[in-house]
Structure 1
Amino acid sequence: MCKDSISNGTFRSIHKSIRSDGVNLQKACAVFLSLSRHRFQHYSLEQSLDEPLSCRRERLCIESLVCIIRKYHVLARHRDGGAAATIGLSDVDASKARTLRRQARTGSTFIGELFNQNPNVFYLFEPLRVVPDMVKMDAIPETYSGDMSAELLNSFYHCDFLTYYVYHIPRWYLAVCESNAMQKICKRYKRCTNVSISDLKEECLKYEVMVIKSIRVEDLNYLMPMLQHECFDFKVVLLARDPRAVASSRKYFKFRNRTNKTLNELGIAKPLNDTTTRLHPENVHDYCKWLGRNLAVLRNAPSRARRRIVVLRYDHVVANVTQKALELYKIFGSRVTENVLKWIADNTHSEEHVERGSMATKRNSTSTALAWRSDLSMDDVKLVQSACNDVMQTLGYKLIKRESELINTSASLLNPLPLK
């Protein structure tokens, strides 16, 4: 038996009421919620695959009704000039949900700014940073980190914020200083510590789009329930960067006083048959495994999920930032604002390099993308290519065989992206 069952007759009557007359929406919602309040309190996108067939049918029925209620509630709200009553479900438009996934030193802060500079975007900078904190405090075991990250993303996109996350915001300065939306909210309430959970939800619901930048979802499989869910037009940008550029960036960021050392000596890369070199935690081998693993998930994903994942090469973006920004916004069903275009003009042709810890965005984008070709030796390049050969070919990065190819920066190392 399934708990809190709703008969087909009840479903049909509610569905008919909604379809026939939008005025009956509030009544239909009230009836539905009173019948299944307990189910909503425990509703999860992830359900057991071995549940009885009758339960799966009922769950699909309920999910469909949730979609109907949300859509009609939005229509009624617009028709009545915002007079529709709240029905206990989030009013956030799930078609505006976007996540930017990447790893360290891959250019995501730069890409994130293309959205952060848009006043219509609610941009969150690394909100999943709270998950490692939970592990450290023994609130959750480390093996649950992926599930917790997915659960938090789901709640964020409904403008529901975990108590600890709201507490965390003023205590990690990047959460505020890297998000224009959070800066405005903290300013509106005089200081970040004055912003309550309900305040943050109220402010979040005012925005057209939400974008989250995160390095803390290791596996796209954790996001599959959201990517496949009928109610969500949830999209993920999987940001990739040439592994040779990633290795160079990590070398010059992590080892500023040891840049004369090779990638092997620093543990950023090593020969495949080397069992003696100790790898640095941000080694390029792990980065390429991460990319390869998630590209495999993408290839094997159901069609709906596959359509919602965008593979973006940072190296391709910086070659023509404005054009790629326009394409990204088109994919996401939104529009580029003058603020974004001005930021691009101000921050992609500058010879000045402004350091903000690890987040430097003011630069000549093309020269930055090519800097690794003068910073790395041919031996270092070969090490990275050996470690990342498969994923580089999958992403259309040309391999370098001779030093003359390395120093010839006029020759592009980008092939068309093979992935479709």
Structure 2
Amino acid sequence: MKCTAKRIIHWEIWRTNRVIYVLVAAITICLTWRNMMKTSSVNPTQQLIIRQELREEISWINNTGPPMQEKTVVLLIANQRSGSTFVGEIFNQNPKAFYLFEPLFPFTKQCKYLEIERVDLLNDFLQCNFDNLKQAYVNAFDRTKFTDKDAECMKNNICFETSHQPLLKNYAKICEYEKDENVDKLTQDGNLKFDPESPACGYPLNTTILGQICKTSDIVAYKIIRLCTIENIELIYKTLQDKGVKLFVVHLVRDPRAVVASRVNLKVDGIRLHNASAETNILCDRYNRNMKYVSRLEADTGSNIISDGRYLRIRHEDFTVNPFETAEKIYRFIGKPMSEEVERFISKSHQSMNRILDRIRREDEKALLEKKEIRNYTRSKEILHQMNNPFGTTRDAKEVLTKWRITLPYSVAQLVQEKCANVFEMLRYKMFNSKLDMVNLTKTYF
């Protein structure tokens, strides 16, 4: 009850502040256009065009968009190194979507550490409430002692700025159009550039403007790897359901062998087994716990994310082999059309290396027909060279499916198969019976 009362008071304060903000913004707009029409060197035709764009871009001041009850909110959850960066781009590249990449980065990957705090903050995010973002990040870093050097969450009020270019572009539209010098910042395609050094519209981002962009977007999506249990999501789902918010959960899974291979520190002369063993225990425990919880929800006759049709499990491998079909499946699941921008992104990301894959496949088939041993280790040098950015989104996704089979020691693969036996059965992954079986890329494993 105390928590509820505090949230009500907090909401009233926010609403009062928003009224003040709208009045200040309206006065600013009037003064901006008066000065602009008097002093701008832009010709009258351009002024009319920019005036119309301004009205459209800041329409959120008078119309905050559809209420949260009518908004599509998507939570993409995955384990680390499961391909979630690429999958998340199908929302990031959608101009009608508000997308945040790893907003829970300040919280440790250890599931039980600051568990309540991260769930509470995510609950706010899913309702486009970023008022507590700054303080929550400060508290999390203070407790975890994590470094913020790479993510710069506290400095920018978003984590990993390079993963938020579409958002920053929208942010610049709203913020910069209210300033006199906005015309000079127009790029050739008529859009405003985000200036990180701008005193008023740079970093740190204004959380009020973030909230407004979120609320006026057709789709709100978050990519999360630091929320370890679906049980936590079910608690959030019930809270949002009581408020009428439509939450959809996309659960991305990947072959545990591939995840372990991607996580551990591989050496030229092999892998440090104790690292692989620790990662395997953590990963398989998490997989088993979540799979069992989903099974319990499936058997439950009450309202939950499964029975309400709000949970979709996607295998990384299926998305990799059929990206268009799987992306369309995700968009059908949330009841939205897939934009042309998303289609172009997927096409561009996969075109670059398909020729290499086709050549390697033909070589494999030829070697098999000639009864020669398929030596993937030599050809893997070319493969690994093309995949030198582990966090990129333009790598050929199909090659990701085979890389771990080349680099992972078979002893580690056996360990994962033993620890995750139930997961392999539930997610329909095939086990390898020998090293030769594993490195033979003509054999599929899913």
- The answer to whether TM tops 0.5 is yes
In structure 1, how many angstroms separate the alpha carbons of the residues matched to 2:322 and 2:159?
Answer: 28
Cα distance between partner residues in 2 of 1:323 and 1:317: 8
Equivalent in 79, 83, 87 of residue 103 of structure 1 = 79
Q: Report what 1:398 is aligned to.
A: 430
For the 8 Å contact 2:71–2:218, the answer to whether it is kept is no
1:219 corresponding residue in structure 2? 229
| Paired residues of 1:92 and 1:157 also in contact (CA < 8 A) | no
Structure 1 contact 100–214 (Cα < 8 Å) conserved: yes
Query: What residue in structure 2 maps to residue 113 of structure 1?
Result: 89
Give the whole-Å Cα distance in 1 for the aligned partners of 2:60 and 2:78: 38
| Contact persistence 1:227–1:234 (CA under 8 A) | yes
What's 2:411 paired with? 379
The answer for the alignment partner of 2:28 in structure 1 is none
> Superposition pairs for residues 16-415 of structure 1, below 5 Å?
41=8, 91-93=67-69, 95-132=71-108, 145-165=114-134, 168=153, 170-171=155-156, 174-188=159-173, 189=175, 190-191=195-196, 192-193=202-203, 195-228=205-238, 229-230=241-242, 231-251=244-264, 254-255=265-266, 258-264=267-273, 267-269=275-277, 279=278, 283-301=279-297, 302=300, 303-306=303-306, 307-351=309-353, 353=386, 355-356=388-389, 358-414=390-446
| TM-score calculated relative to the size of structure 2 | 0.63
1:374, 1:407 within 8 Å by CA — same for their partners in 2? yes
Tell me by how many angstroms 1:185 deviates.
4.3
Q: Secondary structure at the match of 1:323?
A: helix
The match for 1:47 is none
Aligned partner of residue 249 in structure 1, secondary structure: helix
CA distance in 1, matches of 2:224, 2:204: 25
TM-score where L is the length of structure 1: 0.67
The one-character-per-residue Cα deviations of 1:162-219 (angstroms, maximum 9, x if unpaired) are 3443984544775321123432245344433263222221222221101101111122
Tell me, yes or no, if the aligned pair for 1:102 and 1:239 is still in contact at 8 Å: yes
What is the identity percentage for the equivalent residue pairs of Structure 1 and Structure 2?
Answer: 24
Structure 2 letter corresponding to 1:176 = E
Question: Which residue does 1:69 correspond to in 2?
Answer: none
State the secondary structure of the residue aligned to 1:130: coil
Matched to 2:219, the amino acid is V
Aligned partners of 1:94 and 1:234 also within 8 Å: no
How far is 1:360 from its partner?
1.8
Count of residues paired in the alignment? 317
Give 3-state SS (helix, strand or coil) of 1:236's partner: strand
Report Cα offsets for 1:38-91 as digits up to 9, x if no partner: 5861799xxxxxxxxxxxxxxxxxxxxxxxxxxxxxxxxxxxx999998xx992
Q: Is the 8 A contact 2:171 2:209 kept in 1?
A: no
For structure 1, which runs of at least 5 residues remain unmatched after alignment?
A: 4-36, 45-80, 136-141, 270-278, 415-420
Task: Tell me the secondary structure at the aligned position of residue 335 of structure 1.
Answer: coil
Cα gap change, 1:316/1:129 in structure 2, threshold over 3 Å: closer, same or farther? same
Report the Cα offset of residue 325 of structure 1. 0.5
Tell me the CA shift for residue 386 of structure 1: 1.4
AA of the residue aligned to 1:384: V
Distance 1:312 1:180 in 2: 26
State whether residues 156 and 203 of structure 2, in contact with CA within 8 Å, keep that contact through their aligned partners in structure 1: no
> In 1, are the aligned partners of 2:171 and 2:213 still within 8 Å (CA)?
no
SS in 2 for 1:334: coil
Instruction: Choose between structure 1 and 2 for higher RCO, CA contacts under 8 A separated by at least 6 residues.
Output: 2
**Separation of aligned partners in 1, 2:417 and 2:127:** 42
